[in-house]
Structure 1
């Protein structure tokens, strides 16, 4: 997703190094992040036998990790994992090559196994989540909102699960089958070689066949577990500009995703209300009481997403609601004069080199959630470009 000139000849070695770390027993997400910060690269971390100075790793644990890393390297587990990924049509993609919004989340995975390919337009994404045991009303609303997001040019991100997730993915696939536009991304809570739920295997194949993405941070042969789904939820949030909760009980995975999106990722959280007496909507009602945006129509969803969503809605209204034979090649955002806010962002960008999000936030006074949307619109219009050095004006 960066400029072609940014490709590094040692990227394959870095992928193997990240896989070595991920496949080493005893090296969880927290220690892995600490190690990457201490050593400066995955290659250095994976090659080191001394982790004793890594913050949070005691001397005894450091000795165990050094031996475990050596055993992982000697067994060729990283190479075997790459072969397993290739066997299911997937590749291992480093975080730096994944969508920018995910890169900026504090707990982003260092790597994803990906079937299909992420594209720059995936920066305009909305996460649609909700209950597995959903009602007919929930299914109807999931399909309604996901189809509208797809028509507007947004990527619909969800978890591939039964219920709301599956209905959101299928709504996009139906638009594509009828000649409309749309992209969808499924983030699994299992390895790509053990797709879960099994009855959605055909849907996952269709997502990839129709140009979408099926991905997971887990090794290819990993079965689903209770721990893997909450971790998966942070990726759904990280990939999205905002999260739409369609139907959720008071304590549910969708509630976890909404909390991550709001409290840790700075994303917009939206919720669709249900019947007041319906326990399957109790989570949505609580979120609304606590500050989530109540949305009762798809245009309200796009409006809640700020400048990026509002411009998509304006473009959609200018075209008229998409007919089944509408062109999938239509531009998702009209090229128009910049808003004052966008002019401020562009003015803060260098013509050479690059500026990171933290520097831009300080220069413009914009919060991260708003800045993501403005940068996305400007990049898709061709006004700015992104490289390994950060964002800059397109010269």
Structure 2
């Protein structure tokens, strides 16, 4: 075992070290106000996020899962409707579809990006398809403009799951502003991470934004008058105030993530590893593929370095979806789940930590004599 200090996947203390004073001032401001829900901080945060994203409307909510549920609900999706999405993402994406009564239809991913394959979306559309829910996984935007054109041609709603892609853009358009609705999470480890749970939905129209506001507040516009069955999903003032502080620094944080990723890439080129596409990436995770995944993870652990498997089981293999009919083979998602490993990456990560991770990974593969990437050469392309 290494005598060096453990390198975590995310170190929030290192991340927030330079803004502690600002954070404490924001927290004190909320405490002194005596207002803890739906006050000036929430209104200001929604306005500032909208300006940063260049989004028409931004409506905050309690968490990222609620953001998905609210978006699907506001779009009118429910029983009998199908929503096309990826099988390689966190469970909440498909969970939200089922929660509103709709049916998830999984299509396979691209091995180069880990994101949903637009060609396969076309093949999966049926007479019951109402929407496509695209995930910008690990901070790398999906081929959203191709998917947008397809949705327009087929009169489908396009919803973006941007839980891991805050600040990522495609041709100068931020993720979350291309589709009809964009869903964000402010879970503490996210690129714009809060200090508890938090979420937000962007909408292209005021009518959709107003529906989101009604739904998040028990289906009510006027106190004690309820026009529909909604949810209790409000972002609190403390989270909004603290997130406002971090929002001012988000571009710097994302640049720091990119620099860590660039160093990893420079050190790991030529190893028995498949690295995903890197353009337009904000690196919520730095994830590689190798058939020596478990051995590499064990090696990192011995050296005091954290790593994580996102995600060990694709959604279509989850027990809850056992009876769901599959329209396509999902071989790539299954292969990626068996071979993926994420390395530590976070703002405030010290150069010595980055070097230690990269050297440990490259040292591991330097000792491997066998060609361990036979399946990467074309078996999953």
After TM superposition, the score normalised by the length of structure 2 is 0.32
The TM-score, its normalising length taken from structure 1, stands at: 0.31
